[in-house]
C-alpha cells in the first residue's frame, strides 16, 4: 500500500463584510488534519478519525463528493483513501465543509503529481459544498485552496482573483449556538434598495483597494455591510456588543463569518487581535453563552502539507 500524505486544511471566512458572497480569506487556525493515500481499488473510501458522525458514503460526504467529481477527470482506475480528523466544528460558519472538500482535492492532486490546476480543484471542491449546503459556492473553497484573500468575481464561469494583503490578524469568536442555514437564508431580503447596493459596492471597491494598497485605515473604513449584516446579525446573540467592544479595543472592523454564528474582526497587530479576543470573551461570559475564540493571521498559502 502507498504511504499516507498528511495535510492541514484551514478554516476560512466567507462573506467578508461588504463582500457578501464574493470575498473570503483563509485562517492559519483552526484547521482539519487529513491523511490520504492512493489505493489499488478505484473510487473513494472515507474514514472519520473524529467524533462528528459525518456520513462516510462518498456521495453524501463533502470530501467524498469533491473527490468523486475529481475522479471523473482523473486517470481511470484511480482510488483514494481519506482519513479525516476535523478540528473545525461543523456549523461554526468558518468553512468546515470547505476545509474537507478543499483538503481532499488538494491532497488528491498532490498524490496525482499536480495533474490539475487550482481553478479545476476549486470546481471539484464546489461539488463538496453542494453536498453540505445544497449550493455550489466558492467563497470558502477558493481561499482554502489559493490562500490569502480571494475575490470570486463570478462562479459561472469561475473567475477567482487572489488579492495581496498586508499583514492582518483575525480574531474569530464562535458562540456555541446553532443557526440553521435555512433560517440564515430565508431571512435575507431578495431585493435591496439601490442606495444600499451602491454603498455596498463603494465599500467593496474600498476594501479591495485597501488590501492591494496595504492601507489599513481604508480597509477599516470599508469594512461596512449595509445589506446583509443588519438583517442576519439579529440571529447572533451579542453581535452588536461584540462589534462595538472590538472596535473600541482597536479592531479595524469585521462582521459575521459566513452565515454565522461566528463573528470575525481584523486588526493590524497581534496585540490588538488579542485585546479584541479579551473583549469578545467578556461579552459572552456576561451572556452565559459558551464560545471558542481563535486568533490567527491570514494564511497566505491555503492547504499545507506535512513535510
Binding site for a copy of itself (CB under 8 A): 18-23, 151-154, 159, 161, 163, 188-195, 197-209, 212-213, 218, 221-222, 227
Minimum CB–partner distance for residue 215 and a copy of itself (Å): 8
73 vs 192 by CB, closer to a copy of itself:
192
Residue with cell 490546476: 117
CB of 24 closer than 8 Å to CB of 62 = no
23 vs 141 by CB, closer to a copy of itself:
23
Minimum CB–partner distance for residue 232 and a copy of itself (Å): 12
Tell me how long the chain is.
Answer: 307
Minimum CB–partner distance for residue 78 and a copy of itself (Å): 33
Q: Which of 180, 96, 183 is nearest to 140 (CA)?
A: 96
51 vs 190 by CB, closer to a copy of itself:
190
Minimum CB–partner distance for residue 242 and a copy of itself (Å): 24
| 181 counts as catalytic | yes
Minimum CB–partner distance for residue 87 and a copy of itself (Å): 31
201 vs 305 by CB, closer to a copy of itself:
201
Contacts of 47 (CB under 8 A, 6+ apart): 56, 81, 82, 83, 84
CB of 98 closer than 8 Å to CB of 125 = yes
1 vs 190 by CB, closer to a copy of itself:
190
Active-site option among 6, 181, 282, 297 = 181
Minimum CB–partner distance for residue 227 and a copy of itself (Å): 7
Active-site option among 28, 81, 129, 229 = 129
| Helix (H) or strand (E) run with residue 162 in it | strand 158-163
| Alpha-carbon gap, residue 106 to 195, rounded angstroms | 41
| Alpha-carbon gap, residue 280 to 293, rounded angstroms | 8
| 130 counts as catalytic | no
Give the angle 57-60-66 at the CA atoms, nearest 5°. Answer: 100
202 vs 234 by CB, closer to a copy of itself:
202
Burial class of residue 245 in the structure, from the number of CB atoms within 10 Å of its CB (0-12 exposed, 13-18 middle, 19+ buried):
buried
| Alpha-carbon gap, residue 89 to 65, rounded angstroms | 19
Give the angle 179-291-219 at the CA atoms, nearest 5°. Answer: 80
The C-alpha torsion from 179 through 184 and 186 to 191, rounded to 10°, is 160
DSSP helix/strand/coil, 22: coil
Catalytic residues: 129, 181
Amino acid at each position: 500500500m502507498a504511504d499516507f500524505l498528511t495535510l492541514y486544511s484551514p478554516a476560512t471566512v466567507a462573506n467578508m463584510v461588504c463582500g457578501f458572497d464574493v470575498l473570503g480569506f483563509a485562517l492559519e487556525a483552526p484547521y482539519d488534519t487529513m491523511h490520504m493515500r492512493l489505493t489499488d481499488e478505484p473510487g473513494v473510501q472515507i474514514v472519520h478519525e473524529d467524533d462528528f458522525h459525518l456520513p462516510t458514503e462518498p456521495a453524501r460526504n463533502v470530501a467524498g463528493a469533491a473527490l468523486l467529481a475529481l475522479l471523473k477527470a482523473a486517470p481511470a482506475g484511480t482510488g483514494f483513501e481519506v482519513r479525516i480528523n476535523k478540528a473545525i466544528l461543523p456549523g461554526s460558519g468558518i468553512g468546515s465543509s470547505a476545509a474537507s472538500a478543499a483538503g481532499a482535492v488538494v491532497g488528491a492532486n498532490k498524490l496525482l503529481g499536480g495533474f490539475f490546476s487550482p481553478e479545476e480543484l476549486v470546481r471539484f471542491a464546489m461539488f463538496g459544498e453542494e453536498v453540505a449546503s445544497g449550493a455550489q459556492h466558492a467563497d470558502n473553497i477558493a481561499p482554502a485552496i489559493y490562500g490569502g484573500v480571494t475575490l470570486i468575481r463570478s462562479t459561472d464561469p469561475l473567475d477567482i482573483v487572489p488579492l495581496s494583503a498586508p499583514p492582518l490578524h483575525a480574531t474569530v469568536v464562535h458562540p456555541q449556538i446553532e443557526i440553521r442555514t435555512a433560517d440564515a437564508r430565508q431571512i435575507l431580503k431578495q431585493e435591496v434598495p439601490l442606495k444600499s447596493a451602491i454603498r455596498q459596492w463603494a465599500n467593496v471597491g474600498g476594501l479591495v483597494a485597501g488590501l492591494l494598497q496595504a492601507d489599513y485605515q481604508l480597509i477599516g473604513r470599508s469594512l461596512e455591510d449595509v445589506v446583509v449584516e443588519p438583517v442576519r446579525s439579529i440571529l447572533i446573540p451579542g453581535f452588536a456588543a461584540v462589534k462595538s467592544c472590538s472596535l473600541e479595543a482597536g479592531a479595524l472592523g469585521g462582521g459575521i463569518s459566513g452565515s454565522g454564528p461566528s463573528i470575525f474582526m481584523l486588526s493590524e497587530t497581534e496585540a490588538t487581535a488579542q485585546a479584541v479576543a479579551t473583549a469578545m470573551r467578556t461579552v459572552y461570559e456576561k451572556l452565559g453563552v459558551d464560545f471558542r475564540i481563535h486568533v490567527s493571521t491570514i494564511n497566505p498559502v491555503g492547504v499545507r502539507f506535512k513535510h
